[in-house]
Amino acid sequence: MIKGLTIIGLTLAVCAGTPASGSDWSGYISGEYRYFSHDPLYPEQRIQYWSLATQPEYYREWEGGDQSFTFTPFARWDRFDERRSHWDIRELNGYWNLDDWQLVAGVSRVFWGVTESNHLIDIINQTDTLEGVDGEEKLGQPMVHGTWTQDWGALDLFLLLGFRERTFTGESGRIRSPLVVDVDNPIYESPRENKHIDYAVRWSNSYDIWDIGVYYFYGTSRDPRLEPGVNDEGEAVLIPHYDIIGQLGLDAQVFLGNWTLKLEALDQRRREEKYAAAVAGFEYTFVGVLESQVDIGTLVEYSHDTRGNASTSPFANDIFLGMRLTPNDAQSTELIVGLVYDLDYDGEVYRIEASRRLFSSWKISFEAQTYSGIDQRDPLLYPVRDDDFLQLDIAWYF
């Protein structure tokens, strides 16, 4: 983190020398309400929660966008869940476009992947689990990232300077395990702890109807093992263990008419163990159904993890069925409904996400999740079986 910030300082110093061709603030302020339909299982939890969040972004560019500076802080204040009141620097970086090379130095975010239900191979940034159950919100990662583009594709080289620990819900928050995670005392495999420098290399290219990417990552696992332990106050907690891993990842997509076939796969070495995981599926789109402007996409994805029941992922042997409704209207309405069915324990998780623009700069989002038939033996879902919820979020964009 310190190194990252030093780089930012240098970036600023260099950029400040030339006149800017454009600069501006944008972002959002939002209010969120969450309602859990069952009484809580653990004493400190509640039925209703509400919170406020903001994510402004400052952007300034030089040389017609060939150099730029981006600063994106994020903060949430939660009325009841102390640990969910948190802030982060999502982005603070300088960007240089040098013809065949592009360079980003500072705190940044990178997403890899093609599937909808399981973001399996995405690894550069740590997940901000406080922000949502879908794992799509990420913490800013200090890095130096170079992209070299040639006719044979793009080569991305990463030096990841310092590690970000995963965020976890506290005692008063819902959708958590019976024991809270002690985020103050993580255990690292590396003696350099959170200062271990990780690296990653990725090649990607598009060939006609094919999109393909392959990467290798070496460094601290973003996904900790949670082991029972005792915290400084002598209470039983879960201690996150961050191992050093080597991971090979693959993502591929092929477009065949209205069909899109998708695959993500990884092979990971962690201590003496080795495992593989994959998610594969398709999306079929009905374009302009019944002579309207509405598109309906149907999604089927299967996830597998060779660790089976010992997996740290909820997608060890699961099928996802989903439907995406896109009316293509002026308010950019979107609706996605889905079901994840666990083939090992027969449990089902249903989920709805919908959003729509209001007036010119407001957006309303709705999210709901419900659990059904969760088995006592399911180690990840049984503790949250009563955390069915509805969530409403209203955001103003500036």
The H or E element that residue 207 is part of is: strand 197-207
Is residue 363 near another protein by the rule CB under 8 A? yes
Q: Is the distance from CB of 194 to CB of 221 less than 8 angstroms?
A: no
Q: How far is CA 50 from the centre of its chain?
A: 22
- Which C-beta is closer to another protein: that of 309 or that of 331? 331
Paired with 78 in beta bridges are: 51
Query: CA 249, CA 266: separation in Å to the nearest integer?
Result: 4
- Which C-beta is closer to another protein: that of 67 or that of 169? 67
Binding mask 122-141 for another protein (x = CB under 8 A): --------------x-x---
Is residue 334 near another protein by the rule CB under 8 A? no
Q: Is the distance from CB of 123 to CB of 156 less than 8 angstroms?
A: no
Measured on CA atoms in the order 73, 74, 77, 83, is the torsion positive or negative? negative
In the complex, minimum distance from the CB of residue 397 to another protein, in angstroms, rounded to a whole number: 4
Of 199, 193, 197, the residue nearest 242 (C-alpha): 193
Is residue 100 near another protein by the rule CB under 8 A? yes
Stretch near another protein under the rule CB under 8 A, chosen from 81-89, 237-245, 265-273, 282-290: 282-290
- Which C-beta is closer to another protein: that of 87 or that of 398? 398
Is residue 295 near another protein by the rule CB under 8 A? yes
Query: CA 167, CA 163: separation in Å to the nearest integer?
Result: 12
Stretch near another protein under the rule CB under 8 A, chosen from 220-228, 256-264, 273-281, 339-347: 256-264
Binding mask 164-203 for another protein (x = CB under 8 A): ----------------------------------------
| DSSP secondary structure string for all residues of 4-43 | HHHHHHHHHHHHTTS--SEEEEEEEEEEEEEEESS--SST
Stretch near another protein under the rule CB under 8 A, chosen from 13-21, 103-111, 303-311, 334-342: 103-111
Is residue 298 near another protein by the rule CB under 8 A? no
